[in-house]
């Protein structure tokens, strides 16, 4: 009997894990939370890209979502114009990214991880290309995604075994962060650990519980195990609709050890509804939303220097321009849309160059002109006064360079550049000091893609448009907007315009053929000019408003 008690005592001394199931201490809980990034960085230092297998099952499980929906209106507006944009949260070494871009040539992937070493593994991959992948370090519980990705610009967010690594009390922060960059009707595709998984049972036996269903592994990384109810309520409470959610179970057999292992994971699809109310903290560009276009920062942002000294050459109507700016190759990685020349501006400067009577001998205001100012420079050749405005000080600096580079002295004095943040009373007052009588023509190209900015836009236009309706014959002051419909739908745009006293007088393309085409203002701009067809397949719209 004594010998049996002695053996039992020795076994108890040799036991590594207790059965107390009290979990880890508060000290270690805090340490694992505080140093979560470090533990994952060590993980990728140790395993490099050899731990996880490439996820080729994504095409089988979710292939339909990565293709453009076969919707007639959507196809007309967007297909062939924009790449499907994906954000991979917790990208790791790229095991999701590279199977995706190999399968779908028309997608662009943002990839973030809070482990710097993981992001470096993504960038060092042989298939890494700047025009396909934008990889950056980001802790979604702390860092604002809008500092890396334009708001409402992402079609799909993939979360593959990543939300489980976040402390339960911080999961809502991650979802709210994701909402900012998702388009309305954008999707979250999720696969993660489920309660009852073999790994959870083992961690429970080892007394490595942090809180309910949340455990720390031996290497310091953590894992949460989801029930369908918990995951569903988490997304619904943070403003998502449930498309599908289900539990997946699989028995894995190790015949040599005569073991049968039960693996369980949860798979779900959530959709962001149209009434998305989350947004980035700044609507208009501010100093917090700057892009330093110096070479050193450009290298850091893009991996190679995009060098704004490289010229974008524009030829139209006998005019040629050399524009300093970035090409649209950088639209997914650059934080300021004002540094690029967009299709809507290209269409509008063609219209103005071919139809100088639109602005001839009039006072013209351009809203959100961007760094090119191409429409303002065309207008300055014929108008009495042109004021080119933007809300971004860095964009205005580059705009001034482009104006000086392209306009001769005889025209230069007619073009003024000013900072104008829509709805800002001080900025509006400064514009009024330049021209107290208001503007006969106000132009905006691609300035209606952020829902929160629509009211300030029309409010500003209403403050600055001329109230003299009897000028120059039958002409009435007009607000002309050229754009691709993105986040803001047409009905919302027209409703807001009406609130500020604007009515839609004409549009292009028209949904119905006018009984007398000569009565259409915009049709007369294209009549027998030969360039209308060039832009018809670009999903561009022109709206002509009067007060």
Model confidence over 185-217: pLDDT tens digits?
899 999 999 988 888 877 877 678 888 889 887
CA 169 – CA 387 distance, rounded (Å): 50
What is the average per-residue pLDDT within 432-440? 94
Q: Give the CATH number of domain 287-546.
A: 3.40.50.150
The yes-or-no answer to whether 26-195+221-249+265-271 and 287-546 have a common fold is: yes
Quickly tell me which residue has 């905006």 as its tokens. Answer: 444
User: pLDDT tens across 11-20, in order?
Assistant: 443 333 333 4
Quickly tell me which residue has 């207008």 as its tokens. Answer: 379
Tokens describing residue 101: 């871009």
Tokens describing residue 511: 């949904």
What is the average per-residue pLDDT within 248-259? 66
Tell me what pLDDT residue 339 has. 61
Least confidently predicted of 261-275, 419-433, 454-468: 261-275
Does 392 have pLDDT greater than 80? yes
Q: Is 448:457 a contact under the CB 8 Å cutoff? A: yes
Question: Degrees (nearest 5) of the Cα angle 229, 233, 238?
Answer: 160
Does 251 have pLDDT greater than 80? no
Tell me what pLDDT residue 462 has. 96
pTM of the model: 0.48
Does 538 have pLDDT greater than 60? no
Indicate the pLDDT class of residue 280, thresholds 50, 70 and 90.
Answer: very low
Peptide bond into 509 cis (omega under 30): yes
Does 478 have pLDDT greater than 90? yes
CA 240 – CA 233 distance, rounded (Å): 10
Indicate the pLDDT class of residue 332, thresholds 50, 70 and 90.
Answer: very low
Of residues 101, 167, 171, the one with CA closest to residue 132:
101
Domain chopping of the chain, boundaries: 26-195+221-249+265-271, 287-546
What is the average per-residue pLDDT within 31-37? 76
What is the average per-residue pLDDT within 256-276? 77
Least confidently predicted of 205-219, 290-304, 341-355, 425-439: 290-304
157, β-bridge pairs: 87, 188
CA 378 – CA 60 distance, rounded (Å): 51
Quickly tell me which residue has 């610009």 as its tokens. Answer: 153
**Angular region, 539: left φ>0, alpha ψ -120 to 50, beta rest:** left
Q: Give the CATH number of domain 26-195+221-249+265-271.
A: 3.40.50.150
The alpha carbons of the chain give a radius of gyration, in whole angstroms, of 29
Indicate the pLDDT class of residue 475, thresholds 50, 70 and 90.
Answer: confident
Start-to-end Cα distance in the chain = 102
Tokens describing residue 197: 């998984």
Q: What pairing do the DSSP bridges indicate for beta strands 214-216 and 222-224? A: antiparallel
Q: Is 265:197 a contact under the CB 8 Å cutoff? A: yes
Percentage of the chain exceeding pLDDT 70 = 70
DSSP state of 287: G
266, β-bridge pairs: 192, 247
Higher pLDDT pick, 33 / 377: 377
Indicate the pLDDT class of residue 70, thresholds 50, 70 and 90.
Answer: very low
């Amino acid at each position: 009997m004594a010998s049996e008690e002695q053996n039992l005592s020795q076994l108890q001394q040799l036991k590594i894990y207790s059965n107390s199931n009290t979990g880890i201490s508060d000290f270690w809980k805090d340490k694992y939370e505080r140093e979560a990034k470090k533990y994952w960085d060590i993980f990728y230092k140790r395993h490099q890209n050899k731990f996880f297998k490439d996820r080729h099952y994504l095409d089988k499980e979710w292939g339909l979502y990565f293709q453009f929906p076969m919707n007639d209106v959507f196809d007309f507006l967007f297909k062939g114009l924009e790449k499907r944009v994906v954000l991979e949260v917790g990208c790791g070494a790229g095991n999701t990214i590279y199977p995706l871009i190999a399968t779908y040539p028309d997608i662009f992937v943002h990839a973030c991880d809070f482990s710097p070493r993981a992001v470096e593994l993504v960038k060092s991959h042989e298939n890494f290309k700047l025009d396909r992948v934008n990889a950056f370090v980001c802790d979604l519980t702390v860092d604002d995604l809008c500092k890396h990705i334009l708001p409402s610009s992402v079609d799909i967010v993939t979360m593959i075994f990543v939300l489980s690594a976040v402390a339960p009390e911080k999961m809502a922060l991650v979802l709210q962060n994701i909402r900012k960059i998702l388009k309305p009707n954008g999707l979250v595709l999720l696969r993660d650990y489920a309660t009852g998984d073999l790994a959870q049972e083992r961690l429970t036996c080892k007394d490595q519980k942090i809180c309910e269903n949340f455990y720390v592994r031996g290497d310091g990384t953590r894992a949460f195990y989801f029930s369908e109810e918990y995951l569903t309520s988490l997304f619904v409470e943070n403003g998502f609709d449930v498309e599908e959610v289900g539990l997946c179970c699989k028995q894995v057999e190790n015949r040599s050890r005569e073991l049968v292992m039960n693996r369980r994971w949860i798979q779900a699809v959530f959709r962001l509804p149209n009434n998305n109310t989350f947004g980035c903290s700044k609507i208009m560009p501010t100093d917090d939303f700057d892009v330093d276009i110096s070479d050193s920062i450009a290298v850091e942002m893009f991996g190679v220097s995009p060098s704004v000294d490289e010229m974008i050459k524009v030829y139209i109507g006998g005019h040629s321009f050399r524009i300093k700016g970035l090409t649209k190759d950088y639209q997914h990685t650059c934080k300021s849309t004002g540094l690029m020349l967009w299709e809507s501006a290209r269409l509008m400067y063609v219209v103005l160059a071919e139809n100088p009577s639109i602005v001839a001998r009039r006072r013209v205001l351009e809203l959100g002109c961007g760094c090119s100012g191409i429409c303002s420079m065309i207008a300055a050749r014929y108008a009495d006064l042109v004021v080119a405005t933007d809300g971004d000080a860095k964009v205005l600096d580059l705009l001034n360079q482009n104006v000086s580079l392209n306009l001769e002295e005889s025209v230069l004095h007619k073009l003024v550049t000013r900072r104008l943040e829509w709805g800002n009373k001080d900025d509006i007052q400064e514009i009024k000091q330049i021209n107290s009588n208001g503007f006969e023509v106000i132009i905006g190209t691609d300035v209606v893609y952020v829902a929160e900015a629509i009211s300030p836009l029309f409010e500003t236009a209403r403050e600055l448009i001329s109230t003299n309706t009897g000028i120059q014959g039958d002409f009435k002051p007009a607000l002309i907007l050229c754009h691709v419909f993105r986040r803001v739908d047409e009905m919302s745009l027209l409703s807001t315009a009406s609130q500020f006293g604007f009515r839609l007088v004409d549009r292009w393309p028209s949904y119905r053929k006018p009984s007398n085409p000569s009565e259409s203002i915009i049709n007369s701009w294209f009549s027998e000019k030969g360039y209308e067809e060039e832009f018809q397949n670009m999903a561009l719209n022109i709206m002509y408003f009067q007060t």
